[in-house]
């Protein structure tokens, strides 16, 4: 494979790595939004839960209650706790996805950096080869001129 073809291949790899990095950044942004949304949901739920729990307790107090009413109240409170736990677990899952997305971006950055360095190195090699060829051509031309001058001098 010629150096120019290799250079084109590395350029395509670099473009692909750039696109992958951009997509990873977009995914990270969506993960950040998800974490923010879950945190906001948890805060809103905590506030609503306290209010709702107070309302349930006030309803229980305002009526003459039976053991069944107390059982329903306790079941409702347990349901509220369970819902809070579900939201917390969803928040933790979102945070883990966010951390994985950050690690993925770091890997993509390292890959892009490596590909870029290889491309730069190859470009330098190509430039050196071109200089060598052009200087080799001028040396060849000088040798040819010297041969012509020597031939003319010998024939005179």
**What is the number of alpha carbons within 13 Å of residue 47 lying toward its C-beta?**
5
- Establish if 149 belongs to a structural domain: no
Pairwise CA distance, residues 156 & 149, whole Å = 11
Return the CATH number at 70. Answer: 1.10.287.1700
- Do 21 and 109 contact (CB within 8 A), yes or no? yes
Q: What pLDDT, in 10s, does the model give residues 77-91?
A: 999 999 999 999 999
What is the chain's pLDDT, residue by residue, as a tens digit (156 residues)?
688 888 899 999 999 999 999 999 999 999 999 999 999 999 999 999 999 988 888 887 877 777 788 888 889 999 999 999 999 999 999 999 999 999 999 999 999 999 999 999 988 888 888 887 777 655 565 555 455 556 555 665
- Establish if 111 belongs to a structural domain: yes
Number of Cβ within 10 Å of residue 89's Cβ equals: 11
Domain tally, the chain? 1
Containing domain of residue 106, as a range?
3-118
pTM of the model: 0.69
């Amino acid at each position: 494979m010629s150096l120019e073809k290799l250079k084109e291949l590395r350029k395509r790899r670099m473009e692909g790595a750039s696109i992958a990095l951009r997509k990873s950044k977009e995914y990270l942004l969506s993960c950040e939004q998800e974490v923010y949304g879950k945190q906001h949901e948890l805060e809103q739920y905590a506030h609503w839960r306290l209010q709702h729990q107070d309302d349930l307790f006030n309803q229980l107090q305002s009526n003459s209650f039976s053991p069944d009413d107390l059982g329903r109240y306790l079941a409702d409170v347990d349901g509220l706790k369970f819902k809070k736990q579900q939201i917390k677990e969803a928040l933790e899952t979102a945070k883990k996805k966010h951390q994985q997305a950050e690690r993925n971006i770091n890997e993509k950055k390292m890959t892009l950096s490596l590909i870029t360095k290889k491309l730069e190195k190859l470009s330098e090699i190509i430039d050196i080869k071109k200089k060598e060829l052009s200087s080799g051509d001028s040396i060849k031309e000088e040798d040819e001129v010297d041969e012509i001058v020597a031939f003319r001098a010998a024939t005179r």
